[in-house]
């Protein structure tokens, strides 16, 4: 797959390197793309502007501070037909009023807000609930040893593609359901940042449903 990374920091940098390592075509973007060249070269990936990442990717990973999303929407416009993986989280201390509003608005989850900003994209929530060091150090496992990565979305086919991207780098996708269900792995929710194996995560999910 062709994957454009928006926000090539802790999460975007780590995921992009993993995906490039297993043979996907990756473009890391930045407001200063020159600074990413040596990281990208190590895994045979490209670098470019945010706009170039959007044009390049069939899949776009969104991994910037949540508070920067409105400016990004203004900058890139629509992402029609793209699979948009939302790895962001709203943190009021970092992201300000927009994060506060999203958290207070119980009618819309954070990723439903992101999806509403890119109405033509197939938005899937994933990788927001895993610490980047776990993503770095616990990748490429197999079977029951794999760490769970929660995923949800309203578009079945797009979600299957993202599940493949999770499993290709040695994590286990834990499909939580539609976008609205994603509230269970947002900050402070039961499945957020637990870094459980898939067996442990499935047991916790069952317990929560009981």
Taking a C-beta distance cutoff of 8 angstroms, is the pair 3, 16 a contact? yes
Site string for ligand NAP, 17-56 (x = CB under 6 A): -------------xxx-----------------x------
Residue span binding ligand NAP (CB under 6 A) among the ranges 66-74, 162-170, 174-182, 201-209: 66-74
Using CB under 6 A, which of 66, 113, 118, 185 touches ligand NAP?
A: 66
Segment lying near ligand NAP (by CB under 6 A), choices 19-27, 41-49, 62-70, 111-119? 62-70
What six digits make up the tokens of 24?
A: 């996907």
Minimum distance, C-beta of residue 112 to ligand NAP, in the bound complex (Å): 16
9 near ligand NAP, rule: CB under 6 A:
yes
- Output the six-digit token pair for 197: 């194996």
Tell me the C-alpha distance between 160 and 173, whole Å. Answer: 10
Give the per-residue contact string, 122-141, with ligand NAP (x = CB under 6 A; - = no). Answer: ------x--xx---------
Give the 3-state secondary structure of residue 197.
strand
d(CA 113, CA 189): 18
Q: According to CB under 6 A, which one of 3, 4, 7, 102 is a site residue for ligand NAP?
A: 7
**Contact between 151 and 145 (Cβ < 8 Å):** no
68 counts as binding ligand NAP under rule CB under 6 A: yes
CB-side exposure of 140: number of CA atoms within 13 Å? 9
Regarding 100 and contact with ligand NAP (CB under 6 A), the answer is no
Q: Give the shortest CB-80-to-ligand NAP separation in angstroms.
A: 20
Strands of the chain, DSSP E: 2-6, 25-29, 46-48, 59-62, 83-86, 122-126, 148-153, 172-177
* Element (DSSP H or E) covering residue 42: helix 37-42
Tokens 């990788």 locate to: 127
Is there binding between residue 11 and ligand NAP (CB under 6 A)? yes
CB of 93 to ligand NAP, least distance (A): 11
| Shortest Cβ 28–ligand NAP spacing (Å) | 9
Indicate the SS3 state at residue 9: coil
Binding residues vs ligand NAP (CB under 6 A): 6-12, 30-32, 50, 63-66, 68, 71-72, 87-89, 128, 131-132
């Amino acid at each position: 797959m062709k994957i454009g990374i928006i926000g090539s920091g802790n999460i975007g940098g780590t995921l992009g390197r993993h995906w490039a390592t297993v043979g996907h075509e990756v473009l890391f973007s930045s407001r200063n793309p020159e600074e990413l060249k040596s990281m990208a070269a190590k895994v045979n990936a490209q670098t470019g502007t945010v706009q170039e990442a959007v044009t390049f990717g069939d899949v776009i990973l969104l991994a910037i501070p949540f508070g920067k999303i409105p400016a990004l929407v203004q900058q890139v416009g629509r992402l029609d037909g793209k699979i948009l993986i939302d790895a962001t989280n709203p943190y009021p201390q970092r992201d300000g009023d927009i994060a506060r509003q999203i958290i207070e608005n119980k009618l819309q989850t954070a990723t439903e807000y992101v999806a509403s900003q890119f109405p033509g994209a197939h938005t899937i929530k994933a990788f927001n609930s895993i610490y980047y060091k776990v993503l770095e150090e616990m990748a490429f496992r197999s079977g029951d040893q794999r760490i769970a990565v929660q995923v949800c979305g309203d578009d079945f086919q797009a979600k299957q593609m993202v599940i493949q991207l999770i499993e290709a780098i040695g994590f286990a996708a834990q499909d939580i359901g539609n976008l609205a269900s994603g509230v269970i792995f947002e900050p402070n929710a039961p499945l957020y940042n637990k870094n459980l194996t898939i067996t442990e995560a499935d047991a916790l999910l069952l317990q929560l449903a009981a």
